Chain A
Amino acid sequence: MATPKALRQPLSLQIGSAGFLAIWCLLAAFPIIWIGVMSFKSPVDAFAANPFDVVFGPETLARGNGLSLIDIVVGLVVLWITAKSAMGWLPRMVARYSPGGLIAVGWIIGALAFGIAFVLVFFGLLPILLDALNAITGPLGQPILGLTTEHYQTVWVENAFYRNFINSMIVTAGVVAISLTVGTLAGYGLARSGSSLAFWILIIALVFRALPHSVLVAGYLPVFINSAEILSPILGDNAPTLYGQPLAVIAVLVSINQPFTIWMLRSFFQNIPAELDEAARVDGCTHFQAFRWVIMPVMWPGVITTGLFSFLLAYNDFLVTSLLLDAQNQTMVPAIAGYFNRETTTTDQVEAVAAAVSITAPLFLLVMVFQRQIVSGLTAGAVKG
């Protein structure tokens, strides 16, 4: 349908709005993409004043780390094929081979296998192949773009960043699992009960949501540090010191996240017609059975969305984890603070950049896969409330 003439916009407005969007996209993505570029260069290039030096990395090239034209083309083709098959081929395979009802497990196994295969091909097979190819193609095989992965190697292998990664994964997985379990129950209860009590619980949760986290941590710290003494009358000599325990941090983050979780899940539950559980109740289900077998199967989109936000809270947290965990159990985000505290050489700084990019990459993938859910989660609370 053609737009009526009265609604058609003048050219200047169209150009203006397109230009504005272009500038915003540049502004939004530039810092993030730029640290990605910086992390692959030698320190001199990474902090060079001339942007072209940062992109092409002459210093990195001079030190013998570079990619030839062939490398770039082949690498891009492999990346493109990977992206394509991740979008098309992988979902089909998962759908075909995963047993009925276990599609989630199928996805986890499929994604893992796919990821491992990609790493093996891209970092294992491809360099060997390309080295041979570069040697025989002459000028096309000359390196032109400086690029080095040494900072990633230092960060992940020498500085044992994988430990922080594992800790992060433990904390986030724990937080997401527990806060969804507890939150769906509460969200369902609150959505289906019209009582005054439910209203007051929600209001108090709203107040709790506004609390600065440092206020709460000031309450935890003395108790957590002395918990062995405080708990010893009850638990005897086995009383644990909660300070530094990932489990304690999981409990803390779940609770801090609880107000937000129950608000969001409640608004998703309210979208599910109450007639559905009434029908189940008529058929003889208890409340809990109706919740488990009738409501939960249609609730997955809401649960996934809320889970995403729980994940973000736990993954991005700096304050709670840096104060309540000790150095051995540190998660990724506070660990990065260690890099810029000893910011003495530019090499340390580029390592910090590489660590930062390592933390950001999973988030990047997350937005790619779950963009729709994130948007629906953001609007769920707002548009109706």
Chain B
Amino acid sequence: MKFKTFAAFVGPSIFLMLLFIAAPLASVFVQSFQSTQPVLERVEVETCTPGFPTQTCTTEVKTRPLLDASGKIQTTTEWVGLESYANVLQLDRVGQALADGAPGRILTIDFWKALRFTLTLTLVTLPLVIGLGLALALAVNNATKRLRGQIIFVSLLPFIITPVIGALSIRWLFIGDGIMTAALEGWLDRDISMFAQGWTIELLMNFYRVWHVAPFAFVILYAGLQTVNQDTLESAIIDGASRFERLRYVIVPHLMPLIVFIALIHLMDCYRAFEEVVGFSSQAHRITLQWLTFDLLTPDDSGNRSISRASASAMLTMIGIVILLVPLLRRTWRDHRGA
């Protein structure tokens, strides 16, 4: 294929990706070093109240935003260097907490709180997702042929459902005195409210993640199971391998590339976790990195969006993604050079 034809085919897609992915990335990078603020002016205002024999007048200095000709608030943009990053990271408070010997206090700062939760969520759910996916794939492979279609249909539901609604549907089971809370209370014989403290919400959020992603792992591993070499399996049986040994030494090694693939996709997606926080309304207790940026971008009570802090937080999130991607990219590069 000539370069010109190739360019004609790929062009529109590249153009879109450059315009809407690469360009925003660059602009976020620049924004994170800038700060846009309304221009304030200080004016002396004299307010008079009627009095006797003369009016009482007070003069005070007020700051108010300067308006331009069309009545909009004027803004200036200036370079602030790493100030936005410092605002997000709050390293002085981190240092203070370390100096006081109370590292737990670091987790009261939004960014570190979000980082802690995102990382635990990712690392706790990863083995669970792969384990459950593998167990499901093996069990479905074991089930009668007629039932497989139905089981796959039901299994796909948690994966396909809108994430926010998936989280909500689990939350509604537990909310207030919902049936699950009532059942737990009856079982444990104590008063439970799942949404009053952080760790119970975290438990539910972990559960939701596994529930939502396990079907994906299941479908891929199930497809992989269909290609297991039957001859190897049979020779393993002849060699006297037990069921577990066959799983351990024949099936799992065969599925290993798929497991690595699932792990990578899961790491990427879980690091971007966001919908849980919205669905479980957990922002008072647990937040994720992407939610932090989202929150900074949402207009606050006075209608301002803290774009520069959001950009800084977004760039910090990016660093994590880059760290996650480096091993993958190195492997692809090696494969490409080898090929």
* Residue positions of A touching B, CB distance < 8 A: 6-7, 9, 13-14, 17-18, 20-21, 24-25, 27-29, 31-32, 34-35, 38, 47-51, 54, 182-183, 185-186, 188-190, 192-193, 195, 197-199, 201, 203-223, 251-252, 254-256, 258-259, 262, 287-288, 291, 312, 315-316, 318-319, 323, 333, 336-337, 340, 349, 352-353, 356, 359-360, 363-364, 366-368, 371, 374-375, 378-379, 382-383, 385
Contact = CB atoms under 8 A, between A and B. Distances in A.
A220 B24 contact: yes
A192 to B, nearest CB: 5
Contact of B153 (A256, A288, A315, A368): A368
29 contacts: A13-B243, A17-B142, A21-B136, A24-B132, A28-B154, A31-B166, A32-B161, A50-B179, A54-B179, A182-B12, A185-B9, A185-B13, A190-B10, A212-B274, A215-B28, A215-B317, A217-B294, A219-B26, A222-B27, A254-B16, A255-B17, A319-B274, A323-B298, A353-B172, A359-B165, A360-B161, A363-B162, A374-B156, A378-B220
B261 to A, nearest CB: 5
B157 interface: yes
Contacts of A287: 1, 5, 9
B40 interface: no
B92 to A, nearest CB: 25
Nearest to B176: A47
Give the secondary structure class of B's interface.
Answer: helix
B58 interface: no
Given A192-B1, A385-B261, 10 more contacts: A28-B155, A32-B158, A182-B12, A188-B9, A198-B10, A262-B13, A323-B294, A349-B172, A364-B157, A371-B152
A363 B237 contact: no
A194 to B, nearest CB: 9
Interface of B: 1, 3, 5-6, 8-10, 12-14, 16-17, 19-28, 31, 36, 132, 135-136, 138-140, 142-143, 149, 151-158, 160-166, 168-170, 172-173, 175-179, 181-182, 211, 215-216, 219-220, 223-224, 227, 237, 243, 258, 261-262, 268, 271-272, 274-275, 278, 281, 289-290, 293-294, 297-298, 305, 307, 310-311, 314-315, 317-318, 321, 324-325, 328-329, 332-333, 336
Contacts, number: 290
Contacts of A291: 9
A227 to B, nearest CB: 13
A192 B278 CA distance: 43
Nearest to A181: B12
Contact of B139 (A21, A259, A315): A21
A92 B138 CA distance: 38
B1 A193 contact: yes
B165 A333 contact: yes
B179 A383 contact: no
A323 B24 CA distance: 15
Most chain A CB inside 10 Å of its own CB: which residue of B9, B178, B223? B9
Contacts of B138: 17
B215 A28 contact: yes
A371 B305 CA distance: 42
B338 to A, nearest CB: 13
Contacts of B24: 215-216, 218-220, 223
B175 A47 contact: yes
Contacts of B216: 378
A228 to B, nearest CB: 11
A162 B241 CA distance: 61
A94 to B, nearest CB: 23
B45 to A, nearest CB: 31
Contacts of A258: 13, 16-17, 21
A186 B268 contact: no
A251 to B, nearest CB: 6
Contact of B310 (A18, A210, A218, A315): A218
Contacts of B178: 47, 49
A48 to B, nearest CB: 8
Contact of A214 (B149, B165, B297): B297
A111 B245 CA distance: 51
Nearest to B164: A318
Contact of A182 (B13, B172, B315): B13
Given A9-B142, A378-B216, A356 B289 contact: no
Nearest to B316: A215
A340 B168 contact: yes
B293 A189 contact: no
Contact of A259 (B17, B179, B271, B328): B17
A214 B143 contact: no
A155 B167 CA distance: 20
A208 B162 contact: no
